[in-house]
Structure 1
Amino acid sequence: MSATKPKAHFIGLCGAGMSAVAHLLQRRGFEVTGSDDGFYPPVSHYLTRIGLVLEPGYRAGNIPADVDLIVIGKNAKLVPETNEEVALALDQYRDKVKSFPEVLADLSAERERIVVAGSYGKSTLTSMLAWVLIHAGRDPSWFIGAIPKNFDHSSGLGEGAFVFEGDEYPSANWDDRAKFLHYDPSTVVLTSACHDHVNIYPTLENYHKPFVALLQGLKARNGRLIACTGEDNARAFYEAYPGEKISYAVGRSADWTAEDMKLGEVSSFTLVHQGEEIGRVETSLLGRHNIENITGAAACLLGGDLVRFEEFRAAIARYDGIERRLDRKTDRSVLPVYEGFGSSYEKARSAITALKEHYKRRRLTILFEPHTFTWRNRAALAQYATVFNGAARIWLYAPPTQGAGTHDQVTLDEIHAETVKHYADVRTFDAETYKSILADADPAGDVVLILSSGSFDGLLTKVITEAEARYPV
């Protein structure tokens, strides 16, 4: 008779990072259960596919009596004062409770660790690194806080290096350390360091403190920094780093650069290393920011002699990106509808710029949900003056109220009032009016971009279904 499987229970399972760690524990032989009160694509589809059963809502009875490990997410709803499941976990099972970065640190012990950090580009660049290593037969382990298209799973356990998406957000409601400070990497790839998460880090100096700590630890381990010197904050960290380092950029001088870019359905560029042309690279990804990500992947993998250029080029040509990062949602409609991850100003701008570059002659309509604290904090109002530049029409959705009492929250009316000062056509929508968004669309002359890190309270799927029903192929 086989031994009983150890049991792990996840509270807040529907986070992209939490679901990825849950899969790793499945691979390690754990029986995994979980709970959450938000269940929407793409994570809901992923959880169903990997056979994880979700208990809707938080109840003390969700926790198995013989549980071996409890993983609790970082969310305003996951506090013992208002969540009976969390309260029971911390009261009766405290020695079995961990945050997911603590679990990742345990799973990656004794491995070479490559951590991708920054305020944007982390998920895409991490998945690129993992995909190229897999495609080249290097058998990595990986953790991606999103749903990649080239993989069956957003995490995996191999025998090679462990590639992480390293988040600067606090680890848990009881642990203020940035998640990436648990990982002790040997290589850090720094994509950017623009001010984000204003509810946690009210100033840029506050925001940079965990990055300073990350790089201090890296230097203590004689580790290597690979940084995008095309972003001013990342360049400052690069210039100050006293250890081994490699730079990359698009449109600026660096060790690794992308030159002679041709944007189209398939884009291409010449990869250059310290002035020497390495070769031509092709990609189906949209936007200059993704060419920058590919250049960063080259700096890490080719600069670290982890793969050969031909292996790199072949893998990138077959790399399809990740969910919610400028992926087309309407395969069965002639109206192109894309989804971008609009959790910060820089992410929103990169998605808008990419669509304007690839659809130069089309009218751009944006659906925007200010889901993150970075967008629904009063200090963010000034960003609405320029973030939608290039859009012909903007549809705004109400910000969520979860955690509103923890910061200076603004209302939909306030966001709308600020946005109409700068753009001619700004409207709002809700569950009763969402069909009007596409009522007068021109499928031959319009392109639609959905920007959020949430689900518009479930309306996202309905908007896509409406597009396919109204403008079928």
Structure 2
Amino acid sequence: MRVHFIAIGGSAMHNLAIALHQKGFVVSGSDDQVFEPSRSRLQKYGLLPSIEGWNPDRITEDIDAVIVGMHARPDNPELLKAQMLGIKIYSYPEYLFEQTRQKKRVVIAGSHGKTTITSMLLHVMKVLGKKVDFMVGARLKGFETMVHLSDDSDIAIFEGDEYLSSPIDRRPKFLWYQPHIALISGIAWDHINVFPTIEEYNQQFERFVQTIQPGGTLFYYGGDPTLRNIAQSLNSTETVAYDALEAKTEQGKTIVHYGKNKYELKIFGQHNLQNLSGALLVAQKTGIAPTDFLEAMQSFEGASRRLQILAENKDATVFFDFAHAPSKVKATVAAVKEQYPHRHLTAVAELHTFSSLNRKFLPQYKDTLMAADNAVIFYNPEVIKHKKLPPITPDDVKAAFGSPRLRIITNATELETFLTQLKPLNGNLLVMSSGNLGGINLRSIASQII
């Protein structure tokens, strides 16, 4: 098979390209810009385009399939050439489905927690020596790629994203996978640029559960009223609600009580205990005993950029987290405060996504930082201009978050100064962003202040 990737530099795209290369496919690709870490990883496997940019001459009749990423536009010259030649064009979720048609497919969806739950399952599978195909949205310790496809596994585990499949396929990615086992961790409005109302956003999950295969199972977080309503609408699908596993914090460690046994974990927070409960049920459905699952989970350190420890000593810790949507921000701040109730917590969140910088969406962040002792919001007005959004003011942000004492920073230099001057004695710093914090070196700053 010869496959060409248009926009090969994307996070999921370059991982799929590597996975197919490892499977023995002939892989080529193009992009107008390829950033790290995609650049180094593609180069390692000989897949980095020799010249950046789009060139329709790359598209020839001997190509079996073209996979197009979201970074490409509908008028991309290579895409137009492929359409003219009648070459089969796929989005990456569609191609993942094609590669796993004959396997039992597990799909983990939800507005928050889906990466962590998928990571938990993959970690356990690896510890127990079980072969599995997968796609996950973060780098995992012990895994070379975020995508793996093979001919010798019976199961595929996919993180199910509700965002669009490709520039010419406006369906959510998770509608492609047709799971036999599905899990939804929770629903909270996001992606306002694609789903302008809560109703439209929720509808995508209603469509998703309809793709569960006959005789399949849906696991869902029972504390979410929207999910409860969706589950009650299903007739031919087994539905199972879950809640957080019972646990206690002892000397800064999370101890899960299950049956007569105790398991010490490296992860913490109520939301992670919910994630753990859902992952355990999915694992059981694939034939893994709860005791084996929990024993394997004792070595799980979390997914990349999820409550990642950048620096620590006996009195203080600097965490970084990818949290950006309101539900994620609230759960992450609460988790750190619950785990270290006697430590002062400074929480810094960057507004970077289309939704978070949209004045209409901002009120969704109300009270999300309430668990922090000191809260800061950073955003770059130039990013707002680049996204062609109406400007927002510091007063807009304060009003939306419901915190008049909230500090607003709109300059990267000021943010760096603020962080370097912190003295977190008996205190934690939590930085949350899906952007780049104006280009500051957060790891270096963390080392300075600890």
Q: Deviations over 1:255-274 (max 9, x none)?
A: xxx12433654311223xxx
User: Cα deviations across residues 411-433 of structure 1 (Å, max 9, x unaligned)?
Assistant: 35465453686142403143433
Give the match for residue 234 of structure 1.
Answer: 227
Partner of 1:348: 329
Q: 1:116, 1:164 within 8 Å by CA — same for their partners in 2?
A: yes
The count of residues paired between Structure 1 and Structure 2 equals 443
Contact 2:109 2:160 in 1 (8 A): yes
Q: Deviations over 1:320-377 (max 9, x none)?
A: 1111111112369986321112231111111111111123233322332222222122
Residues 14, 230 of structure 1: CA spacing in aligned structure 2 closer, same or farther, 3 A cutoff? same
Q: Is the 8 A contact 1:63 1:85 kept in 2?
A: no
Q: Which amino acid aligns with 1:299?
A: L
Q: Select the residue among 201, 208, 213 that pairs with 1:214.
A: 208
Give 1:15-414 correspondences, 5 Å limit.
15=11, 17-30=12-25, 31-35=27-31, 37=33, 39-40=35-36, 52-53=47-48, 58-60=53-55, 63=58, 68-75=64-71, 78-80=72-74, 95-158=87-150, 159-218=153-212, 221-242=214-235, 243-250=237-244, 258-262=245-249, 265-271=252-258, 277=259, 279-302=261-284, 304=285, 306-330=287-311, 336-391=317-372, 392-398=374-380, 400-401=383-384, 404-405=387-388, 409-411=390-392, 413=394
Residue 204 to residue 94, structure 1, CA distance change in 2 (3 Å): farther
- What is the CA–CA distance in structure 1 between the aligned matches of 2:446 and 2:63, rounded to whole Å? 45
**One-letter code of the match for 1:109?**
R
Amino acid at match of 1:209: Q
**1:280 Cα offset (Å):** 2.8
Shift of 1:32: 4.3
* Separation of aligned partners in 1, 2:88 and 2:312: 45
- What SS does the corresponding residue of 1:199 show, helix, strand or coil? coil
Q: Which amino acid counterpart does residue 442 of structure 2 have in structure 1?
A: V
Q: Distance in 1 between matches of 2:318 and 2:79?
A: 42
Q: Is the 8 A contact 1:55 1:62 kept in 2?
A: no
**Farther-moved stretch of structure 1 (433-442 vs 106-115):** 433-442
- 424, 445, 448: which is aligned to 1:466? 445
Q: 1:419 to 1:305 in 2, by over 3 A?
A: closer
Report the 3-state secondary structure (helix = DSSP H, G, I; strand = E; otherwise coil) of the residue aligned with 1:21: helix
Q: Which whole-Å CA distance do the structure 1 matches of 2:414 and 2:33 have between them?
A: 25
More off after superposition, 125-134 vs 379-388: 379-388
Tell me the CA shift for residue 46 of structure 1: 5.5
User: Any idea what the Cα deviations from partners look like across 1:102-158, whole Å, max 9, x if unmatched?
Assistant: 111111110100111111111110111122122222211111012122423222235
Q: Residues of 2 paired with 1:97 and 1:445: CA distance? A: 55
Q: Report the counterpart of residue 437 of structure 1 in structure 2.
A: 418
2: CA distance, partners of 1:22 / 1:334: 44
Which letter maps to 2:161?
D
Secondary structure of the 1:467 match is helix
Describe the superposition over 1:230-286 as per-residue Cα deviations: whole angstroms up to 9, x where unpaired: 222222222332221222112xxxxxxx12433654311223xxxxx3643331013
Q: Is the 8 A contact 1:167 1:180 kept in 2?
A: yes
- Once the two structures are superposed, residues 206-250 of structure 1 have per-residue CA deviations (whole angstroms, 9 ceiling, x without a partner) of 1122222222232x5221111111222222222332221222112
CA distance in structure 2 between the partners assigned to 1:227 and 1:156 by the alignment: 26
Does the aligned pair in 2 maintain the 1:266–1:282 contact within 8 Å? yes
Could you tell me whether the CA contact under 8 Å between 1:113 and 1:187 is conserved in 2?
yes
Letter matched to residue 282 of structure 2:
C
Q: Identify which range, 142-151 or 159-168, moves more after superposition.
A: 142-151
Q: Which moved more, 1:450-459 or 1:286-295?
A: 450-459
What residue is the counterpart of 1:254 in the other structure? Answer: none
2:1 is the alignment partner of 1:14: no
Q: Aligned-pair distance for 1:86?
A: 5.6
TM-score, normalised relative to structure 2? 0.87
Structure 1 counterpart of 2:340, one-letter code: Y
Structure 2 residue runs without a partner (length 5+): none
Tell me the amino acid that sits aligned with residue 66 of structure 2.
I
CA contact (8 A) 1:123 1:144 kept: yes
Tell me the distance in 1 between the aligned counterparts of 2:331 and 2:18: 31
Percent identity over paired residues: 26
AA aligned to 1:352 is V
What amino acid does structure 2 have at the position aligned with 1:321? G
Q: Distance in 2 between matches of 1:447 and 1:403?
A: 33
Q: CA RMSD in A?
A: 3.0
Q: Which amino acid aligns with 2:134?
A: W
Q: Which amino acid aligns with 2:248?
A: M
Q: Give 1:255's aligned residue.
A: none
Residues 1:260 and 1:291: Cα distance change in structure 2 (over 3 Å): closer
Counterparts of 2:183 and 2:288 in 1: how far apart (Å)? 17
Secondary structure of 2:179 counterpart: coil
Conservation of the 8 A alpha-carbon contact between 2:350 and 2:435:
yes
The change in CA–CA distance for 1:187 and 1:278 in structure 2 (over 3 A counts) is farther
Query: Taking structure 1 as reference, are residues 471 and 354 closer, same or farther at Cα in structure 2, changes over 3 Å only?
Result: same
Amino acid at match of 1:283: L
The answer (yes or no) to whether the contact 1:150–1:320 under 8 Å persists in 2 is: no
Contact 1:267-1:282 within 8 A present in 2 as well = yes
Alpha-carbon distance in 2 for matches of 1:86, 1:367: 42
Distance in 2 between residues matched to 1:262 and 1:144, nearest whole Å: 29
8 Å contact from structure 1 (residues 14, 44) kept in 2? no
Deviation of 1:438 after TM superposition, in Å, equals: 2.0
8 A Cα contact 1:79 1:86, kept in partner: no
Specify every segment of 5 or more residues in structure 1 that has no aligned partner in the other structure, as ranges. 251-257, 272-276
Deviation at 1:21, TM superposition (A): 1.8
Shift of residue 316, structure 1, vs aligned partner? 0.4
Q: Structure 2: how far apart are the matches of 1:260 and 1:456?
A: 34
